């Protein structure tokens, strides 16, 4: 039976996690900088980044930068649910039925689509299951003046400038708490808020 008292639950949690904890702690420092290779060389800089126009050898103006696609076009859920969610191939195909047909990786993308096979994207961020994190509560939190308290960038860095997404912060308990303790965040540091 799970005890109803919150302090008791926290003590039991401590006891249960204590053993595994030291191992997890040792491994957790590896997380910052994690930058797994993806099945498709998808570059956020090309899709979500700002355009950069140059003139090529033929004298044509070409965009070697990005297309300014908003994060929410592809990650549709961060204001609505726990997970920001990674887009399905159908979202890519909204444009790539017609756009960029000669690019090597667009051809590979269309092969997955034609086979009806989802792209096996490798998770970049992955908290342990005993931690509760919800994107929507973070994205919807506002100051008294109505300003958003956090932005994607505060946790994930400038993804729009990255070729390959890389973990920009420690994503361990100390990191969560450092932000939660800032008075302007008004966020709780109770164990049971994140361990429920
Ligand atoms: C055209 C669609 C698209 C746009 C626009 C886009 N993303 Fe992504 N994003 C993806 C795909 C596909 C992945 C999975 C592959 C990867 O990790 O690169 C991903 C992965 C991520 C991840 C890592 C997910 C994980 O596994 O932990 C983060 C963080 C992220 N995006 C943030 C952003 C932010 C912030 C923006 C806006 C600046 C943005 N994305 C714009 C498609 C998009
Ligand atoms: C809103 C339209 C749009 C969506 C949605 C979109 N793209 Fe693109 N994509 C573009 C444009 C525009 C280009 C640049 C084409 C050019 O330069 O001719 C491009 C280029 C690319 C390239 C080739 C350039 C490079 O980085 O090598 C790849 C690969 C690519 N997209 C993958 C994806 C994937 C994967 C998704 C879905 C997660 C996606 N795109 C969703 C518009 C889009
Ligand atoms: C307060 C910090 C924080 C902010 C702000 C934040 N994220 Fe995240 N994000 C995380 C954490 C923590 C995870 C890992 C969640 C997990 O493993 O359960 C994550 C995971 C993700 C993932 C991987 C899939 C998923 O949904 O879990 C994507 C994609 C992502 N974030 C995109 C975004 C985008 C886009 C924004 C802005 C709209 C954003 N995030 C804002 C902390 C944040
Ligand atoms: C950049 C600052 C920042 C970081 C980093 C951050 N948080 Fe938060 N967190 C907030 C803010 C702001 C709130 C909402 C405060 C309010 O109610 O206005 C919040 C609220 C919460 C809540 C309570 C609301 C809910 O969803 O039930 C939980 C749980 C939480 N955060 C978990 C985490 C975890 C776990 C991490 C680390 C993986 C984390 N946070 C990292 C700023 C942050
Ligand atoms: C703001 C969110 C947050 C709060 C509040 C929080 N934790 Fe954590 N906790 C985490 C995250 C995230 C991890 C995962 C760390 C990792 O994987 O590196 C974690 C991991 C742990 C672990 C596993 C061992 C370890 O050190 O990684 C224990 C035990 C733990 N927390 C106990 C507590 C106790 C006791 C409290 C109250 C004093 C507390 N936590 C408050 C987010 C939080």
What are 126-145's pLDDT values in tens digits?
999 999 999 999 999 999 99
The answer to whether the CB of 195 falls within 8 A of the CB of 8 is no
| Residue 83 pLDDT greater than 70, yes or no | yes
Average pLDDT, the chain: 87
Residue 151 CA, ligand 4 centroid: distance in Å: 12
Lowest mean pLDDT among 28-32, 94-98, 100-104: 28-32
pLDDT at 18: 53
Atom 9 in ligand 2: residue holding the nearest Cα = 47
Among 5, 19, 139, smallest CA distance to 79 is for 139
Rounded Cα–Cα distance for residues 140 and 160 (Å): 21
The answer to whether the CB of 86 falls within 8 A of the CB of 75 is yes
**To test the ligand 3 pocket, which listed residue (155, 169, 195) has its Cβ within 8 A of the most ligand atoms?**
155
Read off the pLDDT band of 26 (50, 70, 90): very low
- 3-state SS assignment for residue 61: strand
Atom 2 in ligand 1: residue holding the nearest Cα = 74
Which pTM does this prediction carry? 0.91
Rounded Cα–Cα distance for residues 175 and 189 (Å): 12
pLDDT at 80: 84
**Which two three-digit tokens encode residue 25?**
């702690």
| Residue 86 pLDDT greater than 60, yes or no | yes
Residue 28 CA, ligand 5 centroid: distance in Å: 12
| Residue 75 pLDDT greater than 80, yes or no | yes
The answer, yes or no, to whether any atom of ligand 4 lies below 6 A from the CB of 137, is: yes
Read off the pLDDT band of 8 (50, 70, 90): low
Among 91, 152, 155, smallest CA distance to 121 is for 91
Integer angstrom CA distances of residue 112 from 37, 85, 89, 108: 17, 19, 8, 7
pLDDT at 168: 94
Among 96, 73, 97, smallest CA distance to 86 is for 73
Residue 147 CA, ligand 4 centroid: distance in Å: 16
Q: Closest-lying ligand to the alpha carbon of 175?
A: 4
């Amino acid at each position: 039976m799970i005890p109803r008292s919150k302090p008791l639950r926290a003590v039991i949690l401590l006891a249960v996690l204590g053993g595994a904890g030291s191992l997890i702690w040792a491994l957790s420092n590896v997380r910052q900088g994690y930058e797994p290779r993806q099945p498709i060389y998808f570059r956020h800089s090309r899709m979500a980044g700002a355009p950069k126009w140059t003139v090529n050898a033929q004298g044509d103006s070409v965009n070697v930068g990005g297309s300014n696609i908003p994060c929410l076009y592809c990650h549709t859920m961060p204001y609505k649910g726990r997970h920001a969610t990674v887009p399905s191939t159908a979202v890519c195909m909204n444009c790539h039925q017609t756009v960029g047909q000669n690019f090597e990786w667009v051809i590979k993308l269309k092969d997955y689509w034609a086979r009806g096979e989802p792209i096996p994207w490798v998770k970049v961020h992955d908290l342990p299951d005993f931690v509760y994190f919800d994107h929507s509560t973070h994205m919807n939190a506002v100051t008294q003046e109505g300003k958003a308290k956090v932005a994607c960038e505060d946790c994930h860095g400038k993804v729009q400038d990255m070729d390959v997404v890389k973990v920009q912060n420690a994503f361990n308990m100390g990191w969560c708490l450092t932000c939660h303790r800032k008075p302007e965040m008004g966020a709780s540091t109770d164990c049971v808020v994140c361990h429920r």
